[in-house]
């Protein structure tokens, strides 16, 4: 089996890893470097967690996601996961604790409501204004995303994957399994399209279902009097009436990061990455609301990236022709499940799982 994979983000590279371990010949293409420097996967750190609230099908997949990353880390020779626990703060509205408890209790993962006085004592940098409830949970932490994709790219190159960086795919034949780069046509038995925010360049018929979404995160330097608390902080979710902030502390050489989970659903992966006031405003508002003394924080970098989102935030793995598969696992929660999704598709391609099952599985429906 010879497979051509388009896209060197976490989805495409994880598929390549899992296929190569099963003996397939793999070609990996990206329009830029490998790993892709413009993919949303190429970031300092990402949250991973067993909690999922309104998407219980994905909560059921998370133990397998943790296991898949553990096996990947064994292969690449480095463990890029830091368990920190997670704290959720709700500023009005439902905190979804009952749903989280129902997900975590069967797994034996600790969770509890957090008194606001204890929250203030443990996280003195958090502004309590408007917080109505909080809880904490285990089984959560940080995936050091940039380190993962860099080490994974090295493993792929060292283990026989045919790497094609700076090779923009201009056409695919989903029936004949060919990939065109410039004036050269590469032949395979199967093509996997894992092109992220560029997927509709190759599959324009998916434009109604897969929407590029321009997103921004802020990297920050906390003031000196909060630095020690931040250095030991867990990952956080802070949900207000007009934002859904995710917050990663500056651990193991990374910077403090805050983003807003709400999708803009505007732009295209080919657009520039220059942060505008329009991009920055909602994340800045979230940070000003969530952090005490925010006027003393230093903005180190506003960074723009592009997600690919669906209306229901579920992943898409499906046939895209008789000799092609589409892998689009993002919607703002793709990295934590990226290795598992890639392995699931690889198992299907190699005949280890029925082709009809992977689509529902990836959508968190079975």
One digit per residue, pLDDT tens: the chain, 366 residues?
Answer: 999 999 999 999 999 999 999 999 999 999 999 999 988 888 999 999 998 877 888 989 999 999 999 999 999 999 999 999 999 999 987 788 998 998 899 999 999 999 999 999 999 999 999 999 999 999 999 999 999 999 999 999 999 999 999 999 999 999 999 999 999 999 999 999 999 999 999 999 999 999 999 999 999 999 999 999 999 999 999 999 888 899 999 999 999 999 998 899 999 999 999 999 999 999 999 999 999 999 999 999 999 999 999 999 999 999 999 999 999 998 889 999 999 999 999 999 999 887 779 999 999 986
Q: Which domains does the chain have, with CATH numbers?
A: 2-44+146-210+312-362 (3.50.50.60), 86-138+211-309 (3.30.9.10)
- Tokens read off for 183: 């004036």
- Tokens read off for 348: 């299907």
pLDDT of residue 355: 72
Q: Is 25 left (phi over 0), alpha (psi -120 to 50) or beta?
A: beta
Backbone angles phi, psi at 254, to 5 degrees: -100, 175
Measured CA to CA, the distance from residue 132 to residue 288 in angstroms comes to 18
Q: Is 83 exposed, middle or buried (0-12, 13-18, 19+ CB in 10 A)?
A: middle
pLDDT of residue 95: 82
Nearest to 58 by CA among 335, 347, 354: 335
pLDDT of residue 347: 97
pLDDT of residue 330: 87
CA angle 16/57/94 to nearest 5° reads 125
């Amino acid at each position: 089996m010879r497979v051509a994979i388009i896209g060197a983000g976490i989805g495409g590279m994880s598929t390549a890893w899992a296929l190569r371990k099963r003996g397939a010949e793999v070609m990996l293409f990206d329009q830029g470097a490998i790993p892709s420097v413009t993919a949303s996967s190429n970031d300092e750190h990402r949250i991973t967690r067993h909690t999922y609230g309104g998407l219980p099908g994905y909560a059921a997949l998370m133990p397998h996601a943790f296991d898949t990353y553990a096996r990947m880390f064994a292969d690449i020779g480095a463990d890029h996961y830091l368990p920190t626990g997670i704290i959720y703060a709700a500023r009005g509205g439902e905190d979804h604790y009952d749903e989280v408890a129902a997900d975590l209790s069967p797994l034996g993962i600790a969770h509890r409501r957090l008194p606001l006085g204890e929250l203030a004592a443990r996280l003195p940098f958090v502004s309590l204004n408007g917080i109505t409830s909080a809880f904490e949970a285990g089984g959560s932490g940080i995936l050091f995303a940039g380190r993962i994709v860099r080490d994974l790219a090295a493993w792929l190159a060292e283990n026989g994957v045919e790497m094609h960086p700076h090779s923009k795919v201009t056409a695919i034949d989903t029936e004949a399994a060919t990939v065109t780069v410039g004036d050269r046509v590469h032949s395979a038995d199967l093509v996997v399209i894992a092109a992220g925010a560029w997927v509709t360049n190759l599959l324009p018929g998916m434009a109604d279902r897969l929407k590029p979404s321009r997103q921004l995160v802020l990297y920050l330097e906390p003031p000196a009097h909060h630095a020690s608390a931040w250095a030991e902080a867990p990952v956080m979710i802070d949900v207000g009436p007009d934002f859904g902030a995710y917050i990663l502390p500056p651990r193991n050489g990374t910077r403090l990061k805050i983003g807003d989970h709400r999708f803009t659903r505007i732009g295209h992966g080919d657009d520039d990455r220059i942060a505008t006031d329009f991009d920055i405003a909602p994340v800045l508002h979230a940070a000003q609301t969530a952090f005490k003394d925010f006027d003393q924080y230093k903005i180190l970098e506003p960074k723009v990236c592009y997600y690919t989102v669906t209306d229901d935030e579920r992943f898409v793995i499906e046939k895209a022709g008789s000799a092609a598969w589409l892998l689009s696992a993002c919607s703002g929660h793709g990295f934590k499940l990226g290795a598992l999704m890639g392995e699931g598709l690889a198992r299907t391609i190699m005949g280890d799982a029925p082709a009809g099952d992977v689509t529902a599985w990836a959508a968190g429906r079975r």
